[in-house]
Amino acid sequence: MYTFNLISRFILLNIISFFASGCASHSTQAIGKLDNTQPIFHSNACKNARSNAWVYQEAKDAKLWAGPSALLIAGPIAFIPMLFANASVNAADHLKAADIAYNCGGNPRNPEAVAGDIALEATIDIATGSLIPANLPLKSAP
C-alpha cells in the first residue's frame, strides 16, 4: 500500500510539474517570437544564436524527471543541489533567450526581470513538487 502511494505521488508530481512549467524553453519561445521575414533573422549572428537552442529545450524536458528521480534515489540530502541545478538551467536558458532576441532583432528583457523570473521558476519548482523528496519510512513495519 505504501509503495503504491509513493509511486502515485511521484507520477502525479511529475505530471503537475510538466503542466505548470510549460512545454517550451525560453530560448524556444524567443525564437518563436522572431519575425523571420526580417533580414537580421538570416544574419550569421542570428543563426549562431539560434543554433543550439535545442539544448535548453532538452534540459528543460530532462529536469522534469531528473530532479524528482534524483531526490527519490538520494533522499532529502539532494534537495539543495537540485535547487541550484534547476536555477542554473533556468538562468542559462534565460540568458540564451536574451542572446537570441538581441542578435535576431527581438526585444531582450532587462536583467532585473530575468532575475525575477528565475526566482519565480525556482519557487514553482518547489511548490509543484518537482524538488520535494518523497517521504520514506524510517523503519519497516514488523
Element (H, E) at 15: helix 2-21
Provide the 3-class DSSP secondary structure of residue 51.
coil
CB distance 83 to 131 below 8 Å: yes
Percentage of the chain lying above the pLDDT 90 cut: 11
C-alpha cell at 67: 530532479
Query: pLDDT tens across 81-115, in order?
Result: 888 888 888 888 888 999 999 999 888 888 888 88
User: Over 60: is that where the pLDDT of 70 sits?
Assistant: yes
- Burial class from Cβ neighbours inside 10 Å (0-12, 13-18, 19+) for residue 77 reads exposed
Whole-number Å distance between alpha carbons of 142 and 135: 19
Domain spans, the chain: 23-127
Query: pLDDT tens across 3-18, in order?
Result: 556 666 666 655 555 5
CB distance 25 to 56 below 8 Å: yes
Which pLDDT value is given to residue 100?
92
- Enumerate residues 6+ apart whose C-beta is below 8 A from 91: 114, 118
Which pLDDT value is given to residue 73?
84
Of 69, 75, 85, 77, the closest CA to residue 121 belongs to 85
- Enumerate residues 6+ apart whose C-beta is below 8 A from 92: 56, 59
Q: pTM, whole model, 2 decimals? A: 0.69
**CA-atom Rg of the chain in angstroms:** 18
Query: pLDDT tens across 23-51, in order?
Result: 678 888 888 888 889 899 999 999 998 89
Bin 113: left if φ > 0, else alpha if -120 < ψ < 50, else beta: alpha
User: Over 80: is that where the pLDDT of 131 sits?
Assistant: no
